Structure 1
């Protein structure tokens, strides 16, 4: 960081003294330098003004720092809501839990983030069967003790069986949540918010398939039938997430070893294609789980596109839409929103009436809007996002109006008393009556951080969370809302929440009153809640983000970006410029415009091998950053097995201590750091006999090394005349079965 100079480095007395000393040289005729002289008074005045100017120039206020951050494209982050997985039990019949259903964790309010189909049933047994063993891990699943989904060494054909106490309903979406063990030394790459969903999608390393125990086509013999997979958020059990399944026919109970005490209803997950870098380890499998966030929604908006055809209908599954009050809006050809009223039947509406039917399905907990055909009710004009349903609780009906505009510049309105809203969730409308019309039209206004870039026609406002106010512009920087005698400024979308207080412990999300007999809990703590970013935190983040590569130009850029691949645990990366796979005599011979990236996944194996999906995911991620003229290759690291044969002369009492020598050699010749203090062998580094001499000679009891020779197995290496082993630039070494012979000094 550049040093900050001190601009306030001259005091008032110093400036007056310097000015008085210059008088004899500049103006010899000026002889009266006493305090009563007007010239001295002017010198003191100018010195005082200069000192004040220096003082303010030397100050960098918070406002200035925020402007500097804005120049760098950085804004302070808002508070983030904590998220947990809420699991429901006691369900006696299939029912839908709509999005936004409120939950309670002591004083904290949570809301479900999506709609979920709750089905009756409980998970009674969890069985893992491989080629060599079968185990019952039900107690592990209940106690949340991690267990392998397909054994420690997953092979094709391994099975994970889930036994339920009753048949799961057919032709119904069933949600299973898998909480995977994730506390590994290498963290998983975080998603890039700037990347599109398709470009950042993770390609699974293995493939699983789902079946269920049912009856054959004749309905007689038992059979394992395929299941329709609606969605898989786990990437084939590679990460925590939700799997949605749909069973096509009735389940049949069977007895399955080793849980053959009685018949149960089974789902089976089969490993169809192996290739996991890290064997999937499960902490808990849960039925009827949905993600919930610490937040409170005061008003929400659901929008649809209109085709302009008669008898259009739109449906939404939302707690507020089902239980709250409603305002229906349709956008006219001028881009203004008009409130339409709801009626019991469209037959009572005329051709020019702005009306629609609002119907609710209590079984599915959905809300449906139906519009007219031109004879009974107007038809919404064609266009995207032309129809809206605004839903809000009855208690917020009056509070959603924040006031009426006086038509003056810099108007400010108080919007919260002790509540901090999410700026990203705000959508504000300002209404006015056009000339010659009786009805009010509404226009959307956008929230901005400040009015620096706002023009006189921009409908912008600023939300000050600290003061709890909404501020409008002055018709030069931001438009001023039109004057109105009635309240004409209202929220149509508003949400509060966020902060570290939402990171509640497990088992605290228990408040749920929507459905009698159904209870809720969170098996794991809520995570991710963060307070709003302070100015100091934002400045530190700037330093980190400026240092992070945004383009892959140098080899270091490629390595840093590959390590941060979303969804993967990348342990080691080596970028090899001007190298193309299959080349010989590198680096003497180089390939222009080529970049090869060798990767090592995190694994519990001594030779971590990247699967095709792992390599494709990294390649797909790097393609967004590479230069257009660079051809990119992502390859797995190669492994060379190195075996050391040594004859070591020891002190007599350490003669039989070969184990410490072998242990040190294994720590030296390993591709990864397994927590033993070693860094892992460097890519492409030759194995010199001098390295082995040095490691052994430093050990306790070693007098000297009498002889050493090295053996190697693998491809792409060569052994020179002195016995050193030279490997390819994308290769690493691992230990073989070292043979160490120790000789006592007294035996020589």
Structure 2
């Protein structure tokens, strides 16, 4: 049950009136008429009414006091979450030697009218180096075991390389390029020498996919420019490589591989009637990608000197503070000695000699151990006390965060830290994950839930609540209890996305390694011994809705169609769908009649004549089976829209 709201004064109107009348004989004995018609009693009642109003306002405990109550039981509001994105640094020219963009390089947005700039800083060193191409292989889709070595034909002037070897061409044929060093996080330029041999294809829309091998799978690479017309003429292909790549052995060569693969053609998309031929290939590095976060860095913050007393507090100059990383620590210095102290969540397990401190990330307050008296009269020091006169210095920390950091793509363009040979910078993708500090209203709701569970993951609801507490990047969590002893607890995570529901793709809902690591780190000390947790994503069931709508006479068919599509994409979205606008519910099927009711409520719609539901393949975009009236979902599935079709008459 929720914590009861305390009443500082529980007296009501009649209580105040009765109390005042009882005081009349003591202070005014000649006053003998205490009836309601007496003017004096009327004044008492007026006073009682005003007093009750004041007491009512006093009893409305301010949010600040409520959060203080929660703080006493160890529940503090969440600090702001930091937004993160990748920054792309472009070289001013192609270089033969390494260029390093140091950790902490600051990039900002362009300040606008009544809007200050937003600062991001890189979280690690970026080393941009020249790639070394050492191998080229061709592999047929029908026979993956047979590998054609085309490296000599590619590197010698009189050679020519057939990209796809099958006759006739087969979907899945690929040409592999191997590098001696990883090109992960690099933007590379492939300068191609080719002739028009791959006839039949649309040069602006070739059925090709550029992919890089990451860990145990192939990941699509971002094609930033392709002037070759599908490898059919001399030109350049500029690719953005994933930030991490893995090496493996192909055809006897151990290397880091990228490939160009032949895709199946879409409807109305022309395909190759013959394979493209390459006569030469040169690879250069144009820039590199590195992770960045919405944070500013402080190299040193001198907080003051200790007075030798327990439970001392110091405050950092900048806050909210981001979680500390390696190299970010508190130093306590005395004459001839300097020690690094360890941050802990609380002093429960701290002894009198443990160099521990507690950091309130939201307010930037640093607390040292208190001295506590116990019932037997003993006094125990929880955490050591800095010696009298010791200087307290915070060495390196980061501060920032908030929803303001969720900036759009290509907005971080101002390089605030000068780096040699770097020409410009941008962010190819939007920054995500930023969230403002937790409100007092939300802390009031979360506090009783946390007290009831005691910070432990016991029930399925506990796992869901703790998953949402882990990171602002977690939008939804669903936990399925194991059906048998020994089976793992399955925790399904829906990551938070920005943008319109119609722009959400299947790959957008993939969990990042950083988010999975954060969930594991947060849940590991809170799960029961013997419980294993399987963190994964729901199964996303693709759905395509085909609808025939009759609009009122005089209404624009185009506008009605756009409104209907917006409703469909929004209602069926995993994040904002459903009637509660908090995401389509798990294990709730979709009814065509219910959708028809929602479409009929749109302004300009006279009636909905037909609604059909189709299962859709989210990879190929193709429909599965015939239209139906109802789509069922299991407990581990969510709907994801794909190419809804609305016809308005």
TM-score (norm 1): 0.40
The structure number with the bigger radius of gyration is 1
TM-score (norm 2): 0.44
